[in-house]
Chain A
Amino acid sequence: MSLGIVMLVHDALDRAEQLVRHWATHGCPVVIHVDTCVTRKDYADFVAALDDLDNVKFCKRRNCEWGTWSLVAASQTASEVLLGSFPDLRHIMLVSGSCLPLRPISEMLAYLQDRPQTDFIESVTTEDVPWTIGGLDIERFTLRFPFSWKRHRRLFDRGVEIQRKLGVKRKIPGGLVPHLGSQWWCLTRKTLSAILNDPQRPVFDKYFRYVWIPDESYYQTLARRHSTRIESRSLTLSKFNFQGKPHVFYDDHLQLLRRSDCFVARKVWRYADKLYDSFLSDQQLVVAGAEPNPGKIDRIFTKAIDRRTKGRAGLYMSSRFPSEGYRGNLTAARYTVLEGFAELYDGFDDWLADTVSARIHGHLFAEDKVHFAGGGQEFFGALSDSANLRNYNPTAFLTNLIWSTRGERQCFHFGPCDNQDVSWVMAKDANARIYVVSGAWAVQLFHSNRSFPDIRREAARLQKIESEHLTALRSGYARARTQIWSLADFVLNPTELLQNVVDDIGPRTPTPLINLPRMKPLQGFGQFLQDLKNQGMHPYLMGDFPAGHDLVPATRIQRKPYLVN
């Protein structure tokens, strides 16, 4: 006999019985504490069922509540019974009624045999622990906690608040240094009896009675006082979620648990038959002598906590709908918004599709319909091209599109003729890359055959809309990366500016642009603007186009000057 078990049980007595039997029949004496929440009859049945095992004992029952002293008191009572009844134990382990041994007991005994002086107890100082619930760390030890966190949350919080205001600071007795750690330990007989027989124990017990969650600090702190050799880790694999509740293992974790090589896992769902059957059977295939390696399980649970607390950015669904201000980025991935390019160039989309590796849409927010790349009626995620459906919730249309196409860069055209509901939305989205050639819509008017008063009215309307849009892009709230060029600036030097756009989207080949799309003819455009001015309208978004002569677009590829020294 070298390992004794202290087991705390409060429900699932059938499973607890199975576990007790497993420990006891493999040579580990067990002392059981049963919570008083178990009815008298169930308790009597439980005791009777274990009657045939002579190395199983029960201790005095008490009412246990999470986070209170009662759990420590229960384990103390049980430990005293265990130490008193079985004098030749070397290690004592604290487990619960849902802690499942994952490796044969014989292996565990051999492991402990090799480390006879070692106490396995996770024990770290408060400064080093990130898992504090309710924002309490060192205050666990310096305030009093007379109210239950579970049942009287409001009183609990008020109590903390008042004590903080009053500056209450309890003195930590006897030079103890507060340590925290997993409540499931495996201590040597020497250390445990030193803790229980400490002459100062009444003082310590009195102090810890009003510490918060003493079951995570009592033994952890006192072991530091008595132990000669602490291995600060628990032999029990136990992961907690963000609420401080233990994660539960199910049948589908079987392989994962097998490969973890941990000795004991907490906590296992009571109906996980496959787990209980396979780990409590005697024919197990486990690599003997392996060190516990819970890394993979850790990763899975860490990921689960991330999913719960951070979620997937840019996703809106039935269980994730962040309020504005908490959503981080609006969308899931970067996208490019092009304004004015389609109006200025012929065949711009085809050229861009050849140049960059991205999906090039038309005007997604056009009045008549959604112009998807390829002109289909539907797109990724079965988004419809109906303008009605899109206008019903344009923001959702945008976030859906970007979410469904993650992994592929989306580019689309936007302009003053389109639905402007997303203007601010895009401006505030850090994923948006917006390139604007302001006033380019005038080129289209310039080439149209409409009557001049008509054109003048339309120009005034579009200029007003675009100017409001530019205000959004330039506002202090904007988070999109934006570049705005006036039409005149752009026309004078299109190559470099287009190169910027292409570089950001991701060119198919990392070489400078070798061909450019064909710009629409601008002969007489300056005069056209002058005519608008003469009609009393002031076109200013295009920049300066002299009325007398035409700007010459530098469409030829500029090569680096060839210098000879």
Chain B
Amino acid sequence: MSIWTSYRLRLKRRQCHIRAFRKRRELTQVANRTDAIRPGDILSFSTIRNECVRLPYFLSYYRDLGVNHFLFVDNGSDDGSAEYLSEQPDVSLWSTDASYKSANFGVNWIGWLQRKYAHRHWSLVVDPDEFLVYPFCDTRPLRALTDWLDNSGVRSFGALLLDMYPKGPMDSLSYAAGQDPFDIAGWFDSGNYTITRNPKYGNLWIQGGPRARVFFRDNPRKAPALNKIPLVKWHRKYAYISSTHAILPRGLNLVYDQWGGEKASGCLLHAKFLDTFSAKSAEELTRGQHYADSYEYRAYHEGTRESTDLWCSWSEKYLNWRQLEMLGLMSKGNWA
């Protein structure tokens, strides 16, 4: 890497920090229990908007894995999400009515909180509809993974965002609070992902899955990115650039092996396609707060209007992490 590139990336990182610093004023503290954070705790960061129905299962899933504290930014919910969260003993909550889009899709808000609270902690950045699956997650808690990563000198852990969908039209089964969403949306695409390397930041750019297959047939280039780096041993000098797809400094993006081996990685099961989806996509269309002018949501909305069925006869039914490992969607690396 030339000195010039290195300098420009440093500038870019600095810019992310400055933006995060400026956007901190948009956040209003609702419940701050960060005093309870102990050295070595695993922290989770999320931005939410009207996700009340999802929150109970989200919290219980990650509590079971061993996340010690949750930090949320609530972007103008009016369904009681804020009230629910502020009552939880292990949650700290900030709220804002400012624009999600102008805060770089929430990255700036989260960036500020991470800078303030996540230094030297393992930090997990997930949306409320993303559920991390890693090797041995059925028998080993998240701390086993982070301890092992620490021991191996690894600072970041990559995951594939795996879109899960139900069999049949999306709104045929309704999701109730506290229910495992994958009881309904238990299917996924096992082998239609395309990968390229982003030369600028060194991260992979993965696309594909049911969204590309159904919504982006005519314009695959626009299909959403599925590569994520959700789990990072945070340092205040780090910065996410766009969502959790890319991070600086560049070395953290090397969650993949380039010499033929496999590093350990996981999957983020994405429970987006439930009955809540069509209402959400209709709302996001009018708000226009999502990436690339909500192109994704526009494409979905055209799809869902005719009750699109993402399921096809080659869809796989989700069983456990070993299945994902065998299909080659994640890897144990040398963790045994």
Q: Which residues of A contact B (CB under 8 A)?
A: 241-243, 245, 247-248, 250-252, 269, 271, 300-301, 303-305, 307-313, 315-323, 326-328, 376-384, 386, 388-389, 392-393, 396-397, 400-401, 403-404
Going nearest first, the 10 A-B pairs with the smallest beta carbon separation are A381-B191, A308-B334, A319-B265, A304-B336, A404-B191, A382-B189, A392-B220, A393-B194, A252-B139, A396-B194
**When chains A and B are docked, how far (Å) is the Cα of A323 from the Cα of B334?**
20
**Chain B residue contacts of A241, Cβ below 8 A:** 152, 334
B185 within 8 A of A: no
Our pick among A315, A382, A389, A401 for the contact of B315 (Cβ within 8 Å) is: A382
Contact (A382, B213) CB under 8 Å given A241-B334, A320-B262, A392-B221: yes
Q: Are B313 and A308 in contact (CB under 8 A)?
A: no
Our pick among B190, B194, B328 for the contact of A315 (Cβ within 8 Å) is: B328
Within 8 A of A (CB), among B286-322: 312-316
**Chain A residue contacts of B315, Cβ below 8 A:** 382
Q: Are B265 and A317 in contact (CB under 8 A)?
A: yes
**When chains A and B are docked, how far (Å) is the Cα of A319 from the Cα of B239?**
21
B255 within 8 A of A: yes
Within 8 A of A (CB), among B213-234: 213, 216-221, 227
Interface string of B254-278 (1 = CB under 8 A from A): 0111111111110000000000000
Contact (A320, B331) CB under 8 Å given A271-B143, A384-B192, A384-B213: yes
Q: Are B314 and A319 in contact (CB under 8 A)?
A: no
Q: Are A308 and B263 in contact (CB under 8 A)?
A: yes
Contact (A320, B263) CB under 8 Å given A304-B336, A403-B191: yes
Q: Are A307 and B144 in contact (CB under 8 A)?
A: no
**Chain B residue contacts of A309, Cβ below 8 A:** 260-261, 334
Q: A318-B159, A327-B260 are in contact. List 12 more A-B contacts (CB 8 A).
A: A308-B257, A308-B262, A309-B260, A317-B256, A319-B330, A319-B331, A326-B258, A328-B260, A381-B190, A381-B192, A386-B213, A396-B193
Our pick among B159, B217, B259, B329 for the contact of A388 (Cβ within 8 Å) is: B217
B151 within 8 A of A: yes
* Residue in chain B with minimal CB distance to A328: B260
**When chains A and B are docked, how far (Å) is the Cα of A378 from the Cα of B159?**
25
**When chains A and B are docked, how far (Å) is the Cα of A304 from the Cα of B329?**
17
Q: Are B190 and A304 in contact (CB under 8 A)?
A: no
* Residue in chain A with minimal CB distance to B190: A381
B106 within 8 A of A: no
Q: How far is the CB of B258 from chain A (nearest CB, A)?
A: 5
Interface string of B324-336 (1 = CB under 8 A from A): 0000111111111
**Chain B residue contacts of A271, Cβ below 8 A:** 141, 143-144
Surface stretch bound by A, among B10-18, B83-91, B120-128, B204-212: B204-212
Contact (A383, B141) CB under 8 Å given A241-B334, A317-B328: no
Our pick among B189, B210, B262 for the contact of A319 (Cβ within 8 Å) is: B262
**When chains A and B are docked, how far (Å) is the Cα of A313 from the Cα of B260?**
8
Q: How far is the CB of B191 from chain A (nearest CB, A)?
A: 2
**Chain B residue contacts of A313, Cβ below 8 A:** 260
**When chains A and B are docked, how far (Å) is the Cα of A473 from the Cα of B158?**
38
* Residue in chain A with minimal CB distance to B328: A315
The 21 listed contacts between A and B (C-beta, < 8 Å) are: A245-B152, A248-B147, A269-B144, A304-B333, A305-B334, A307-B333, A308-B262, A309-B334, A311-B260, A317-B328, A318-B195, A318-B255, A318-B265, A322-B258, A323-B258, A382-B191, A382-B312, A384-B192, A388-B217, A388-B220, A389-B212
B131 within 8 A of A: no
B136 within 8 A of A: yes
B22 within 8 A of A: no
Q: Are B191 and A319 in contact (CB under 8 A)?
A: no
**When chains A and B are docked, how far (Å) is the Cα of A313 from the Cα of B210?**
25
Q: Are B256 and A321 in contact (CB under 8 A)?
A: yes
**Chain A residue contacts of B332, Cβ below 8 A:** 304, 307
Q: Are B148 and A382 in contact (CB under 8 A)?
A: no
Within 8 A of A (CB), among B150-194: 151-153, 158-160, 189-194
Contact (A389, B261) CB under 8 Å given A304-B332, A378-B313: no
Q: Are B334 and A389 in contact (CB under 8 A)?
A: no
Q: Are B189 and A321 in contact (CB under 8 A)?
A: no
**When chains A and B are docked, how far (Å) is the Cα of A386 from the Cα of B192?**
12
Our pick among B192, B221, B261 for the contact of A383 (Cβ within 8 Å) is: B192
Q: Are B192 and A242 in contact (CB under 8 A)?
A: no
B197 within 8 A of A: yes
Our pick among B153, B191, B218, B257 for the contact of A322 (Cβ within 8 Å) is: B257
**Chain A residue contacts of B152, Cβ below 8 A:** 241, 243, 245
Q: Which residues of B contact A (CB under 8 A)?
A: 136, 139-141, 143-144, 147-148, 151-153, 158-160, 189-197, 204, 206, 210, 212-213, 216-221, 227, 255-265, 312-316, 328-336
Q: Are A321 and B192 in contact (CB under 8 A)?
A: no
**Chain B residue contacts of A301, Cβ below 8 A:** 336
* Residue in chain A with minimal CB distance to B158: A318
Q: Are A269 and B147 in contact (CB under 8 A)?
A: yes
**When chains A and B are docked, how far (Å) is the Cα of A392 from the Cα of B151?**
40
Our pick among A245, A303, A311, A378 for the contact of B314 (Cβ within 8 Å) is: A378
Q: How far is the CB of B188 from chain A (nearest CB, A)?
A: 8
**Chain A residue contacts of B193, Cβ below 8 A:** 317, 396, 400
**When chains A and B are docked, how far (Å) is the Cα of A326 from the Cα of B159?**
23
Contact (A319, B257) CB under 8 Å given A304-B336, A308-B262: yes
* Residue in chain B with minimal CB distance to A376: B313
Our pick among B212, B258, B334 for the contact of A304 (Cβ within 8 Å) is: B334
**Chain A residue contacts of B143, Cβ below 8 A:** 271
**When chains A and B are docked, how far (Å) is the Cα of A251 from the Cα of B261?**
27
**Chain A residue contacts of B263, Cβ below 8 A:** 308, 319-320
**When chains A and B are docked, how far (Å) is the Cα of A321 from the Cα of B206?**
11
Counting chain B CB atoms within 10 Å of each CB, the highest count among A242, A301, A307, A382 belongs to: A382
Q: Are B261 and A308 in contact (CB under 8 A)?
A: yes
* Residue in chain A with minimal CB distance to B264: A319
**When chains A and B are docked, how far (Å) is the Cα of A317 from the Cα of B326?**
12
Our pick among A250, A378, A403 for the contact of B328 (Cβ within 8 Å) is: A403
**When chains A and B are docked, how far (Å) is the Cα of A318 from the Cα of B160?**
6
**When chains A and B are docked, how far (Å) is the Cα of A251 from the Cα of B141?**
10
**When chains A and B are docked, how far (Å) is the Cα of A250 from the Cα of B141?**
10
Q: Are B217 and A303 in contact (CB under 8 A)?
A: no
Q: How far is the CB of B221 from chain A (nearest CB, A)?
A: 7
Q: Are A381 and B189 in contact (CB under 8 A)?
A: yes
Q: Are B139 and A318 in contact (CB under 8 A)?
A: no
Q: Are A318 and B196 in contact (CB under 8 A)?
A: no
**Chain B residue contacts of A252, Cβ below 8 A:** 136, 139-140
Q: Are B139 and A251 in contact (CB under 8 A)?
A: yes
Our pick among A242, A247, A315, A380 for the contact of B336 (Cβ within 8 Å) is: A247
* Residue in chain B with minimal CB distance to A379: B314
**When chains A and B are docked, how far (Å) is the Cα of A311 from the Cα of B259?**
9
Q: Are B259 and A326 in contact (CB under 8 A)?
A: yes
**When chains A and B are docked, how far (Å) is the Cα of A541 from the Cα of B334?**
51
Q: Are A321 and B140 in contact (CB under 8 A)?
A: no
Q: Are B265 and A303 in contact (CB under 8 A)?
A: no
Q: Are B261 and A307 in contact (CB under 8 A)?
A: yes
* Residue in chain B with minimal CB distance to A383: B192
**Chain A residue contacts of B261, Cβ below 8 A:** 307-311, 320
Q: How far is the CB of A248 from chain B (nearest CB, A)?
A: 6
Our pick among B139, B151, B312 for the contact of A245 (Cβ within 8 Å) is: B151
* Residue in chain A with minimal CB distance to B151: A245
**When chains A and B are docked, how far (Å) is the Cα of A486 from the Cα of B206?**
41
